[in-house]
Structure 1
């Protein structure tokens, strides 16, 4: 089977266009099996605010105590996951929500309990769950909550979760869906960027602001063994007539524009 893993951040869900779903349909028609992994930062922050809990981050990762973990689960499962599943269903896709801890789908371990609390990194992906869903012609939509061998749930960064799922499935592409068309260099979208050139453009200031964490997440994914990551927009057709629109990030090959 040919797989594509699609990571949608929680902040981009409300901006997904009908053209985005047309691209999803085109990929399916070409025989790709799709897996969605989603974030949920805005929904989690909104619930934390209701409980008067201030969010804290360490090196871009949400510091997670037991109460924050429970709130993150409620937000991700009860709101963000349902939102994305319902959007796919409204566009005539068979989608099914999967909690990352169910059936040890995303088996994880602590990154640093002292610094981050209940935050994990994936050590094993249970591909059987994905295959069961996809063999039934369902698109799995996965929450980034992992589980340890002894049953403790852990908060997982959605970019990292998508990268591990893509690597384990040997996916042909891992897509990071954003609200921009790709990475702009000299005023136009670069079709591809190597790891070396991404770092150089950050240093020169060509890549700046909110694009920096996006490309750094993509680099983290290729460092984990994913062949390449596409940064694409959820507001346009990112795949049309067999052609990709966005920026491909990979490790060694040179830039082409």
Structure 2
């Protein structure tokens, strides 16, 4: 078992061979727990509905109107699209959100006065996920959770949710599937993929400008996944042939971020 985090737009663009690789892993008894995001699709739908959206320190400011759209897009559109693609490969998947079976319990984030209904994970119903896995299904999880009273929904950052789920399942490794080959560094005038890097080295490279632009949120998101028992996060390009199988078998691909 391993946890895989992927953005909704990245998963939608992946070739069918990626999902066939997942089927191969499932046949071998290695079942991924998939946590997905969907930021661009949420923003697009909010725009079409004329609902304003803004971000505060990387978190979407969420009121009830925004939350309705977040849940509709994540738990409905994107979650079911991923499940369909997995099932088309012949694999078995079950889509759910953190609301189902009280899967993810949260408390309001520390800066809730700024961002509204955004939650930090306090508990994951690992028994429910293990039951789904024992039945032979891949859980596909949309990051929406419930407060302690079970009545209030909360938007959860997908990377935070993935890290918490991996930690409470006791998984040591998380795979983050993106559209880039890993963290790049210029050495002798040539760009190479760094096979391994620490959190401190990432922060140093951001400060020096070696990590810039769209890569900054990707690496910061990966760092968020290193929680509890999760000792390493591997950033890989999902279009690489059989990328999941190769990483699971120990091949050095992408970039390992270690504690």
Is the TM-score greater than 0.5? yes
Cross-structure match for 1:209: 213
Given that 1:167 and 1:226 are in contact with CA atoms closer than 8 Å, whether structure 2 keeps it comes out as: yes
SS in 2 for 1:45: helix
The separation in 1 between residues aligned to 2:73 and 2:133, in whole angstroms, is 25
State the number of aligned residues. 249
Q: What is the TM-score when the length of structure 2 is the normalising length?
A: 0.91
Q: Residue 47 in 1 paired to residue 45 in 2?
A: yes
Given that 2:145 and 2:154 are in contact with CA atoms closer than 8 Å, whether structure 1 keeps it comes out as: yes
Shift of 1:164: 0.3
Cross-structure match for 1:245: 253
Shift of 1:204: 1.9
Summarize the Cα distance change of 1:147–1:226 in structure 2 as closer, same or farther, 3 Å threshold.
same
Q: Which segment drifts farther, 17-26 or 110-119?
A: 17-26
SS in 1 for 2:91: coil
Given that 2:170 and 2:229 are in contact with CA atoms closer than 8 Å, whether structure 1 keeps it comes out as: no
The separation in 2 between residues aligned to 1:9 and 1:94, in whole angstroms, is 20
Cross-structure match for 1:88: 86
Q: What is the TM-score when the length of structure 1 is the normalising length?
A: 0.91
Q: Which runs of 5+ in 1 are unaligned?
A: 252-257
Given that 1:99 and 1:144 are in contact with CA atoms closer than 8 Å, whether structure 2 keeps it comes out as: yes
The separation in 2 between residues aligned to 1:244 and 1:201, in whole angstroms, is 22
* Deviations, residues 172-204 of structure 1 (Å, cap 9, x unaligned): 321111111111112111111111211121122
The separation in 1 between residues aligned to 2:153 and 2:232, in whole angstroms, is 29
Cross-structure match for 1:158: 158
Q: Which segment drifts farther, 18-27 or 232-241?
A: 18-27
Cross-structure match for 1:255: none
Given that 1:107 and 1:149 are in contact with CA atoms closer than 8 Å, whether structure 2 keeps it comes out as: yes
Cross-structure match for 1:24: 22
* Deviations, residues 124-157 of structure 1 (Å, cap 9, x unaligned): 0001110111010000000100101112110000
Cross-structure match for 2:175: 175
SS in 2 for 1:222: coil
The separation in 1 between residues aligned to 2:172 and 2:226, in whole angstroms, is 12
Given that 1:227 and 1:250 are in contact with CA atoms closer than 8 Å, whether structure 2 keeps it comes out as: yes
The separation in 2 between residues aligned to 1:58 and 1:212, in whole angstroms, is 16
Equivalent runs, 1:116-135 vs 2, <5 Å = 116-135=115-134
